Chains A and B, each alone.
Chain A
């Protein structure tokens, strides 16, 4: 079953002579249980693709469907709801809030209004399953990069989204920590989610079910 499907995505940065079309008719599909890796040169538009798929940014043209719901052209209020219910993000720089403990960071999406009941309990289970009980009590600056990214993965899964988008999740980690994070993402896909992964890491592509290459704003 297709979880995310996009056709003819177009996105341009800059204006006039400085304008650069980073997405130029990109198409992508990812199904439930599938881990799709997107590779390409720096600045080729990989991260922009993820942002557009995850309703963090808007394309100038093209259609996007997430878990059976068209999201292109929708107002920001509705896109916020899509992100809350259907999308989990993992970022290269973790984006943990420094004033919150590991557990508070993981549970952050679960405390949002409109999130289904049981998300907080699920978050605590995830922390235990991922072996992050000790890290969950600490503030981010007291944790290693690997621990921080594993907490970030737990945060992306806490509201049980059908789509997980990971932007260079191993880019700031050593190989051991990177392997652990990739294993978590693989596990997330195996649980029936679609995972789209942007990476330069060969180890990451090795875990993927499919590898797509971004070139001249299109996926090959």
Chain B
């Protein structure tokens, strides 16, 4: 049976190649999706295992180590514990980077991080381990020297990955780990004395029963101030919620691609069976069983699926591995490596099975028909032509009729093209969105392009600079909610109407009109569980407190929506010396460099305003590239679906095309017929894709990505036109390819077929 199947493939190599191409493209998409999806899905567990990540991380105000340990050692389910002293807001510099927001961590005992290059600190002097994100971002290698706050110059002996947070610069804090033993020697602490600690790492005997440990820890930690617990499962939930959207999109699309390939293969197999009805009739007449006939077709297709699937999956996984690895590293996770191979192997088998079943089914149905009917070459299904409401005349219209005559295939192709087109639009829209989030202040409601650190008295001079449309003062004050000190709040204060400079969409209520009113971000409203009419009490960093009545909520993206728009009076009452920024709206087409030069004359360097996430530019760049790659692969799926559909139409309607040529139709007319067939599918698909993306996918993804902000994944007009024109272009290209094949044989060959 396998020999017969191989013979069938050898007999029609071009058809086998066409089928293989479809499987290959769909498999490539699946391979990319599996590489990214599996990597993201398992990355945290892998990184946590490699790093010996604790089950609970407890952070608290610095306290004596014996006092903390006396509480922890009595906890139930406790397997091990270690302590750290983390010193924040230190100046750290190395390679090409520097920051004032570095963190120096004194470590001892079990670490909770994995060394991915070099070695760990072991008590020797002048040695440090740094974050992988920091090493990559600043170009620091093992053996280089960096400066780390009060420690001065230290030598980097290892690079570490700590999965309890995303990597620098996605997280704004780079970590420098140094040995606690060395620092104690350096500080010449008297015997028996230890540094205060502010972080404890806890490993449980039974990680599933960590709740018991936590409950007891909360109950017994009353003597320790500002205690915050971070569990391993909590970190996982946080990271999964971000990665989940990417995984869901990729998995959904790869399923669509595979389903599309299955549908097209089934259509191809059906046409193949139709062509070979008499052969099947002869097989049945000499006693070949129905199962054997179906198996021959199924095995032949499965062999194609096995080879094309393996190549496609490998190619897709390799293509995605670069961006996927960078994505995982940005999340402080580890790429799957060889662990991906069994998953890809399983996928190859699944694809071969799918392809085999898609091909075996029409053969099974055909072999069930009476042998006499098969020997006569009777059609498989009803093929009686229907009068179609299309404009008479024109060879394009004839092509449309030919394509729509096979309603099942036309519908399947239409679905494939529609979904693929919508996914392309979504990917392009998302790519534009992430680029805009990085670069365009307007994407997050900011209507100013420049900021300058000048005294408010300079405002008239700034407004007088040619090209400046408006200028105002903006105060930014960080604080915490008075009732939940762990919840950060950023107060953004403008004199007068803030929507002149920052105009986040209003989700509910109204804008601020008085000094004691606030519009709060939806993210803050969700975090604090407050809304319109509630009181927002903010503990300011200067020590005072400001209270506002919430009059509205806004969809702001900055700080995850944990912001409040207010008037500056209360802030200035608390801290009269608070320094504002001057924000500058530039006239369209004005020269920002010239304005910057004038601001320098006034005594300040102008800063260009970026999007919400300028800090994570590289990460967003990777994401945008990944999205555009997916869109490009999807376009290839469209081309394959169109080419396959037209090739089948041309094959089935070989006598019709031959008749046209017999009556003197030139190659261009044959091309027009096939272009009409392609456009009959591509044009409605383009319109349906636009509708599907606009009304279903974009709102869904926008809500999934950030419920606290207005994120529009809708494509720009140019992108929609590009995709529509692209589908039309693909239809014409597929028609040209099919027409070229159709006219390469003498017309009589097609006429003989009848």
Partners in one complex: yes
Chain A residues packing against B (C-beta within 8 Å)? 51, 54, 56-58, 76-77, 80-85, 87, 89, 91, 93, 95, 97-101, 104, 108-109, 111-115, 139-141, 155, 159
* CA of A155 to CA of B665, assembled, Å: 14
With beta carbons under 8 angstroms apart, the residue of A56, A111, A139 that contacts B747 is A56
Given A56-B748, A76-B743, A95-B655, CB of A109 within 8 Å of CB of B664: yes
* CA of A109 to CA of B387, assembled, Å: 21
B398 and A77 within 8 A (CB): no
Measured CB to CB, the closest approach of chain A to B206, in angstroms, equals: 71
**What are 30 A-B residue pairs whose CB atoms fall within 8 Å in the complex?**
A51-B748, A56-B662, A56-B747, A57-B746, A57-B748, A76-B743, A77-B667, A83-B661, A83-B662, A83-B663, A84-B663, A85-B664, A89-B663, A91-B751, A91-B754, A95-B659, A97-B656, A99-B386, A99-B405, A100-B401, A111-B393, A111-B394, A111-B395, A112-B663, A112-B664, A112-B669, A113-B669, A115-B664, A139-B385, A140-B385
A98 and B385 within 8 A (CB): yes
> Is B234 located at the chain interface by the 8 A CB criterion?
no
Measured CB to CB, the closest approach of chain A to B725, in angstroms, equals: 26
> Is B402 located at the chain interface by the 8 A CB criterion?
yes
Measured CB to CB, the closest approach of chain B to A7, in angstroms, equals: 21
> Is B11 located at the chain interface by the 8 A CB criterion?
no
Interface mask (B649-691 → A, CB under 8 Å = 1, otherwise 0): 0000001100111111111110000000000000000000000
- In the A-B complex, the 8 residue pairs with the smallest Cβ-Cβ separation, listed nearest first, are A84-B664, A98-B385, A83-B664, A99-B401, A109-B663, A56-B748, A57-B748, A95-B659
A99 and B388 within 8 A (CB): yes
* CA of A84 to CA of B504, assembled, Å: 68
Contacts of A115 in B (CB 8 A): 664
With beta carbons under 8 angstroms apart, the residue of A87, A101, A108, A159 that contacts B660 is A108
* CA of A164 to CA of B353, assembled, Å: 54
Contacts of A80 in B (CB 8 A): 661, 664-667
Contacts of A87 in B (CB 8 A): 664
B 394-448 contacts with A by CB, 8 A: 394-395, 398, 401-402, 405
B746 and A56 within 8 A (CB): yes
Contacts of A82 in B (CB 8 A): 664
Measured CB to CB, the closest approach of chain A to B400, in angstroms, equals: 10
B385 and A141 within 8 A (CB): yes
B746 and A113 within 8 A (CB): no
* CA of A91 to CA of B529, assembled, Å: 82
B398 and A99 within 8 A (CB): yes
> Is B376 located at the chain interface by the 8 A CB criterion?
no
* CA of A82 to CA of B662, assembled, Å: 10
Measured CB to CB, the closest approach of chain A to B372, in angstroms, equals: 20
A92 nearest CB neighbor, chain B only = B754
B747 nearest CB neighbor, chain A only = A56
> Is B392 located at the chain interface by the 8 A CB criterion?
yes
* CA of A140 to CA of B394, assembled, Å: 19
> Is B384 located at the chain interface by the 8 A CB criterion?
yes
User: Other CB < 8 Å A-B pairs besides A57-B748, A95-B659, 8 of them?
Assistant: A56-B746, A56-B751, A57-B746, A77-B667, A80-B661, A80-B664, A84-B663, A115-B664
* CA of A183 to CA of B446, assembled, Å: 85
A95 and B392 within 8 A (CB): no
B402 and A112 within 8 A (CB): no
B664 nearest CB neighbor, chain A only = A84
* CA of A99 to CA of B661, assembled, Å: 17
B401 nearest CB neighbor, chain A only = A99
Contacts of B398 in A (CB 8 A): 97, 99-100
* CA of A93 to CA of B354, assembled, Å: 39
* CA of A58 to CA of B401, assembled, Å: 32
With beta carbons under 8 angstroms apart, the residue of A95, A100, A109 that contacts B754 is A95
B 151-171 contacts with A by CB, 8 A: none
With beta carbons under 8 angstroms apart, the residue of A76, A97, A141, A159 that contacts B659 is A97
* CA of A129 to CA of B471, assembled, Å: 86
* CA of A99 to CA of B656, assembled, Å: 10
A112 and B743 within 8 A (CB): no
Measured CB to CB, the closest approach of chain B to A56, in angstroms, equals: 4
Measured CB to CB, the closest approach of chain B to A208, in angstroms, equals: 23
Of A57, A83, A85, A95, the most chain B CB neighbours within 10 A belong to A95
Of A82, A108, A115, A140, the most chain B CB neighbours within 10 A belong to A108
Contacts of A85 in B (CB 8 A): 664
Contacts of A113 in B (CB 8 A): 666, 668-669
Given A58-B746, A91-B751, A108-B660, CB of A139 within 8 Å of CB of B655: no
Contacts of B388 in A (CB 8 A): 99
Measured CB to CB, the closest approach of chain A to B391, in angstroms, equals: 11
Contacts of A91 in B (CB 8 A): 751, 754
A89 nearest CB neighbor, chain B only = B662
* CA of A56 to CA of B664, assembled, Å: 10
B405 nearest CB neighbor, chain A only = A99
Given A99-B405, A112-B665, CB of A139 within 8 Å of CB of B751: no
